[in-house]
Amino acid sequence: MNVHDIIRKVRDREAFTHAEVVSMLEIDPKSREAHLLMGESVRFSRELTDNTAEVHGQFALNLAPCPVNCRFCAFAAKYGIFKEPKELTVQEAVEYAKGFDNADENAAVFLMTTANYDFGKFIEISQEVRKILRPETLMIANVGDMSPEQAVKMKSAGYNGTYHAIRMGEGDRTNAPVKQRLKSIRAFQDAGLIVGTCVEPVGPEHTNDEIAEKILLAASFDPAFSGAMRRITIPGSDLEQYGMISELRLAQIVAVTRIATPATVAGNCTHEPNVLGASAGANLFWAEVGANPRDTNEKTEENRGMSVADCSKLLAEADWQVGKRPSVYYKKSHSVFAEV
């Protein structure tokens, strides 16, 4: 497609086909055309949110070898990076949550677990965290696949939404079948939980066709936000040989994701936080503490993780206004995902 035709379609709020998304991804990220797309993406993103971006804070309830063995994850049991399971106490979880809730520019609090974390304990701690959060603060879960019954219990425990993605290579580079991931998304939405998602983790070996497929799949279930994340190399992992895509290439994918995702989805994330992504249409960053699947340090705030203030500063460098609680991305009536 001619880049000017793409821009016209964006401004007319027209849908893009798979072939058109592939054609955008095929553009050399160093080219004038790619930068025109990035410029249109950030214009569109600013228009949808009145130039307001968000920072969401995430902490992990546990750190443990995970049997799902995602080949891109530091928690994968097969890599042996973290050999002994460690779990936060209720008080530790409450303190992490308070830290984010007390930050004025934090718009939501995410609680993350590995896929094998005890569900009963997850609900118990979540209820205690919910009690100490401000009433308007949104609590979001980043957890493994769940049944419809578990999703209902999560909603009752005070969750407003979840993060769930069909990852690159799902079912091949992970032990999580795509169909099960889709069923979980359906279960979350049926329970009244808003689902946020992302095209991730993208590596140099992924084809434009694969990326386009994930962009359109993510858009199809009307998430709170979409976006793109690059794979961070875990030393000694199966995927280390492929390396990483550049932040410029990631910014291009972020832009294409924004352009190809309906205007009903206001949020467009990128991870890890960077100014180039924010300049290409990303309006959502994550601050992180505790365990992190992209980090070999037990406390990511001492290594890869950024604070709310760090994220806010990067967004401001791209001339975004950083919004305060609660997140507007999750303020939408949930849609029911198609039958799977």
Q: Per-residue pLDDT averaged across 233-243, rounded?
A: 95
Q: What is the dihedral of CA 249, 254, 255, 259, to 10 degrees?
A: 140
C-alpha distances out from residue 140 to 159, 172, 181, 240, 241, Å: 6, 27, 17, 31, 34
Q: How confident is the model at residue 271 (pLDDT cuts 50, 70, 90)?
A: very high
Q: Per-residue pLDDT averaged across 167-190, rounded?
A: 96
Contact 309, 246 (CB under 8 A): no
Q: Measuring CA to CA, which residue among 153, 136, 166, 253 is closest to residue 193?
A: 153
Q: How confident is the model at residue 330 (pLDDT cuts 50, 70, 90)?
A: confident
pLDDT above 50: residue 192: yes
Detail the DSSP E strand segments found in the chain: 52-60, 62-63, 86-87, 106-112, 138-142, 161-163, 194-196, 199-202, 225-230, 267-271, 284-289, 321-322
- One-letter amino acid at 189 equals Q
Summarised one tens digit per residue, pLDDT across range 210-224 is: 999 999 999 999 999
Q: Measuring CA to CA, which residue among 152, 146, 78 is closest to residue 113?
A: 146
Return the pLDDT at 1: 77
Return the pLDDT at 241: 96
Summarised one tens digit per residue, pLDDT across range 112-135 is: 999 999 999 999 999 999 999 999
Return the pLDDT at 324: 84
Q: Per-residue pLDDT averaged across 267-275, rounded?
A: 97
Residue in the structure block whose two tokens are 């080949």: 71
Among the ranges given (206-215, 270-279, 322-331), the one the predictor scored with the smallest mean pLDDT: 322-331
Q: Which residues contact 257 (CB under 8 A, 6 or more apart)?
A: 199, 215, 218, 226, 227, 228, 268, 281
Question: Helix crossing, 119-132 with 90-101: angle to 10°?
Answer: 40
- One-letter amino acid at 31 equals S
Summarised one tens digit per residue, pLDDT across range 69-79 is: 999 999 999 99
Q: Per-residue pLDDT averaged across 244-273, rounded?
A: 98
Summarised one tens digit per residue, pLDDT across range 180-189 is: 999 999 999 9
Return the pLDDT at 336: 40
Return the pLDDT at 332: 62
Q: Per-residue pLDDT averaged across 134-158, rounded?
A: 97
For the chain, percent helix, then strand, then coil, each to nearest 5? 40, 15, 45
pLDDT above 60: residue 340: no
